[in-house]
Amino acid sequence: MFKDLKHRWNNLILCIKYPIIIPRTMIKDRMCTNFFSHTWLDHFPIGWRKLGLEFFKELQEALNKYPKDERKSFRIYDIKEKYGRLAIHFNWYTNEVDQVVTKYEKLSAKTCVACGRKAHWLTKGYIVPMCNHCKKEYKNKYKFTPMYKKYKRRKK
């Protein structure tokens, strides 16, 4: 129970800093969460949580350039990992929002899902980026392919 209260307290602090992190219903402007039991950050894989915090900070800064009425109408519909990258869906886009989303989609593709280190491997089948350390840990569960191919120059 203490862990749950600590999680809710951390979520409350995040929601005060970044109001867009609060999941809301699409029809009415109500929170989908029961006393800050979860936020959109909880939809990020564990290794991408640090990226997620940076993402919400930059997204909030981009949205703060717009009038309050427009900011209030902004909704995040879905956040997920798809094909080894972050996939985020909104109700409206601007150039600033699109730049932030594109930046973090590219960063997520290079970051280990399990621990947050730089990824060097992709799993086959269910595509997930992983680092060398996590590859050793998950070697019995997945087959891997290198993310970056090293080419040797031929001597002439």
pLDDT at position 150: 57
Do residues 40 and 24 both lie within one domain?
yes
Give the whole-angstrom CA distance, residue 50 versus residue 107.
Answer: 11
| pLDDT value of position 2 | 59
Amino acid residing at 38: H
SS3 assignment, position 146: strand
Amino acid type, 10: N
1: its two tokens: 């129970």
Whether residues 104 and 137 fall in one domain = no
Q: 122 and 97 in one domain?
A: no
pLDDT at 25: 66
Contact between 71 and 43 under an 8 Å Cβ cutoff? The reply is no
| Per-residue pLDDT at 19 | 85
CB 22 within 8 A of CB 37: no
DSSP state of 152: P
Nearest-angstrom CA–CA distance, 16 and 10: 10
* CA distance linking residue 38 with residue 70, whole number of Å: 24
Q: If residue 13 lies in a helix (H) or strand (E), which one and from where to where?
A: helix 2-17
For residues 100 and 124, membership in a common domain is answered with: no
Mean pLDDT by 10 residues, the chain (156 residues): 75 85 69 73 90 94 89 86 91 89 94 94 92 92 82 52
What domain range includes position 25? 2-109
Number of domains in the chain: 2
Q: What pLDDT, on the 0 to 100 scale, is given for residue 147?
A: 84
The reported pLDDT for the residue numbered 101 is 93
Residue type, 151: Y
Q: Is the pTM of this model over 0.75?
A: yes
